[in-house]
Amino acid sequence: MARLFLIPTTLANNVDHAGIIQTEKIKHLQYFIVETAKIARSHLKQLGLNTPLQQLHISELNKHSQDTIELIKPLLDGHDVGLLSDCGMPAIADPGSIIVRLAHKHHIQICPMPGPSSLMMALMASGVNGQSFAFNGYLPIEAGERKKQIKRLEELTVKYGQSQIIIETPFRNNQLLQSLVETLTPQIFISISINLMNENEYIISKSVQEWGKKLPDINKQEAVFIIGT
């Protein structure tokens, strides 16, 4: 039976990909479904695959991909396939979940592999509740709607103790942090994990009151935001 391997990727270019996953399980792979081919090749060349990089079959899954059945054709033909995201865990905040669901539909064996997740790394470094949490993806861009969503998340945090994980496009990081500080009540904690696994990684976690008015410039940096109690 063909298997779909869910292969995590490093969060930083200076980290050896082969050192963070069980490469012996995937050295035989020749077929891959990826988010971006160029980025995937930079990850794959570190894995010491049995097949030369130039001979691998790499298909892209992104917003332009429509024929998902064509993407899983190697699986249906009996070949093992690897699924990669550009960064971190495939199918987590990533379009790869479409492929996983389709593979389940066709009774393909799913083989998830351990590796880094920026969401989980940020949560464990935040100091807020890691027993109950939710990932909310991106908040609305429009200021009024964003404020409403932030207040709704605060209600969940206060009522249930549920930590709320948020991500943002890097060039809107500063606007999101400003909105969080201006909207949340003083006792709520905001944790930001920035550039995880990179040399310039840093994590700040403190209450809205402690953040104050002078906020750090995190524009165009990779960040995960968490609010909690």
CATH for 94: 3.40.1010.10
Task: Indicate whether 159 and 184 sit together in one domain.
Answer: yes
Average pLDDT over residues 26-48: 92
Q: Which of 55-64, 68-77, 113-122, 175-184 has the lowest mean pLDDT?
A: 55-64
Task: Indicate whether 99 and 132 sit together in one domain.
Answer: no
Q: Return d(Cα 53, Cα 30) in angstroms, integer.
A: 9
pLDDT at 18 over 60: no
% of the chain surpassing 70 pLDDT: 95
Average pLDDT over residues 4-12: 89
> In the prediction, which pLDDT does 115 show?
85
The confidence band for 41, taking pLDDT boundaries of 50, 70 and 90, is very high
pLDDT tens-digit readout, 166-183: 999 999 999 999 999 999
> In the prediction, which pLDDT does 214 show?
87
> In the prediction, which pLDDT does 11 show?
83
Task: Indicate whether 127 and 176 sit together in one domain.
Answer: yes
Domain boundary residue among 86, 112, 138?
112
Task: Indicate whether 16 and 65 sit together in one domain.
Answer: yes
Q: Return d(Cα 163, Cα 172) in angstroms, integer.
A: 22
Host domain of residue 218 = 118-228
Residue 204: CB atoms within 10 A of its CB come to: 16
Task: Indicate whether 170 and 224 sit together in one domain.
Answer: yes
Q: Return d(Cα 26, Cα 5) in angstroms, integer.
A: 8
> What average pLDDT is seen over the chain?
92
Compute CA 227 distance to the chain's CA centroid, rounded to the nearest angstrom: 17
